[in-house]
Copies of this chain bind each other. A is one copy, B any other.
Amino acid sequence: MAVGAPTSLPHLPEIPGFRLATAACGIKNGQATRDDLLLVAMHPQTSVAGVFTKNLVHAAPVALCRQRLPQGGAAALLVNSGNANAVTGEAGMRDARDATKAVALLLDGDPDTVFVASTGVIGVPLPMPRIFDALPDLAARLQPGGWDKAACAIMTTDTFPKAAQRIFICHDRACHLVGMAKGAGMIRPDMATMLGFLFTDAAVSPATLQTLLTRAVATSFNAITVDGDQSTNDTVLLFASGQVGNPPLDDPDHPAAAPLAKALEELCQELAQAIVRDGEGATKFVAITVTGAAHPDDAKKAAMAVANSPLVKTALAGSDPNWGRILAAVGYSGAALDPNGLSLWLGEVQVLEQGCPAPGYSEAQGASVMAAEEIAIRVDLAMGTADFTAWTCDLTHGYISINADYRT
């Protein structure tokens, strides 16, 4: 059901400072039919930055990463799919910590520099013996490259792997940036059941890396929604190995950091949009832009209210130009507005002009826009100059089928 899904992953280069391996160890139900464990080993000088779910009920790996992030250094990343290790109490924290100890032992590192992420069913203990059994072989098979297999190993209900890359110049050196993500449901700003891992060989200080990641996430992973639900496990981690040898970037606003900032925002948007395209049951890919807001927060509130509205999303599924539902969502979004100032476009077709149906608009024009697989909706608030774009998908029978039967 994915909308505009790529037929294959792009070529993803080896990046100095990172070695990968994946394994199938049957984490979800004991049947090791597909890869569900990913280990990434990193050069000891690697910097790390992270953004996590704001859900108060967060998973053990999220808590552990948050504890370890302030040190700023990373030696490894262990990711499992099939089990979220969430709502597992103290035992879950112990399991997460134990896994990092095992990785550190195998890589001869410090457990506090091992990061972990989990995704899958909530409330079920991690099958630690399976993971312990798999780790020695995994560590022995680490090798440069293999991003495509890694992107597959972190999938759950995803129908295609999501990975992308950019090249950027830093202090005259060409640098790599590769990223992968998973997520197809339980997605909204603040990144529900979304994992994203980004890797560069540029040298960047942890603080600068954190600022650049936070900025890039705001207009990418935090600008998408599939169902408005927010997960216990959302995690985006960015690792910088420094192996390209540039003078370390230590000011996010220095011109030397601009190419990385741009590459990072583009890559995060490409991955975030891939998640929406793979939204559970999605048949449409929709960009919702709000312009003319008095404040950036207003623009975001209005765009996200439209993007999350079940009535808008079912209208999209039915190719129904039911623009009243869009207006209603803008109206309850909490954004400052005057109903008589609102204008609305479906694609290039103006539907509403300052609060009234636009002269000459016909239902047939609207229906023609809504019939497409990719749809752009724009609302102008006429209150100021701030804008925001959110990406979402439609709400279909497919979403119901996937989520009414996910576990049983």
Q: A residues near B, CB below 8 A? A: 54-58, 84, 86-89, 91, 121-123, 185-186, 190, 192, 227-232, 308-311, 314-315, 317-320, 322-325, 327-332, 337, 339-340, 342, 352, 355-357, 367, 395-397, 399-401, 403-408
CA of A122 to CA of B344, assembled, Å: 14
Chain copies in the assembled complex: 2
* Contact residues in B for A367 (Cβ distance below 8 Å): 408
Whether B399 contacts A324 by the Cβ 8 Å rule is no
Q: Within the complex, what minimum Cβ distance (angstroms) separates A83 from chain B?
A: 11
Q: Within the complex, what minimum Cβ distance (angstroms) separates A84 from chain B?
A: 7
Whether A400 contacts B400 by the Cβ 8 Å rule is yes
Whether B232 contacts A319 by the Cβ 8 Å rule is no
Given contacts A315-B403, A332-B190, A342-B57, contact A324 B230 (CB under 8 A): no
* Contact residues in B for A327 (Cβ distance below 8 Å): 57, 87, 122-123, 232
Q: A91-B356, A311-B403 are in contact. List 13 more A-B contacts (CB 8 A).
A: A54-B332, A55-B331, A56-B331, A57-B337, A86-B328, A87-B327, A121-B324, A122-B325, A123-B324, A190-B332, A310-B310, A318-B403, A320-B408
* Contact residues in B for A308 (Cβ distance below 8 Å): 228
Cross-interface CB contact of A400 among B57, B84, B331, B397, cutoff 8 Å = B397
| Sampled A-B contacts (12; CB under 8 Å) | A57-B331, A122-B327, A229-B309, A229-B332, A231-B328, A310-B399, A311-B403, A317-B400, A318-B405, A320-B405, A322-B407, A397-B401
Whether B122 contacts A324 by the Cβ 8 Å rule is yes
Whether A230 contacts B57 by the Cβ 8 Å rule is no
* Contact residues in B for A407 (Cβ distance below 8 Å): 320, 322
Whether B403 contacts A314 by the Cβ 8 Å rule is yes
Q: Taking CB as reference atom, which chain B residue is nearest A402? A: B314
Cross-interface CB contact of A87 among B122, B229, B324, B397, cutoff 8 Å = B324
Q: Within the complex, what minimum Cβ distance (angstroms) separates A52 from chain B?
A: 13
Q: Taking CB as reference atom, which chain B residue is nearest A405? A: B318
Given contacts A57-B339, A123-B324, A232-B324, contact A403 B355 (CB under 8 A): no
Whether A406 contacts B342 by the Cβ 8 Å rule is no
Whether A332 contacts B56 by the Cβ 8 Å rule is yes
CA of A229 to CA of B231, assembled, Å: 21
Q: Within the complex, what minimum Cβ distance (angstroms) separates A90 from chain B?
A: 8
Whether A310 contacts B55 by the Cβ 8 Å rule is no
CA of A230 to CA of B408, assembled, Å: 32
* Contact residues in B for A310 (Cβ distance below 8 Å): 227-229, 310, 395, 399, 403
Q: Within the complex, what minimum Cβ distance (angstroms) separates A333 from chain B?
A: 8
Whether B227 contacts A186 by the Cβ 8 Å rule is no
* Contact residues in B for A324 (Cβ distance below 8 Å): 84, 86-87, 121-123, 232
CA of A103 to CA of B25, assembled, Å: 74
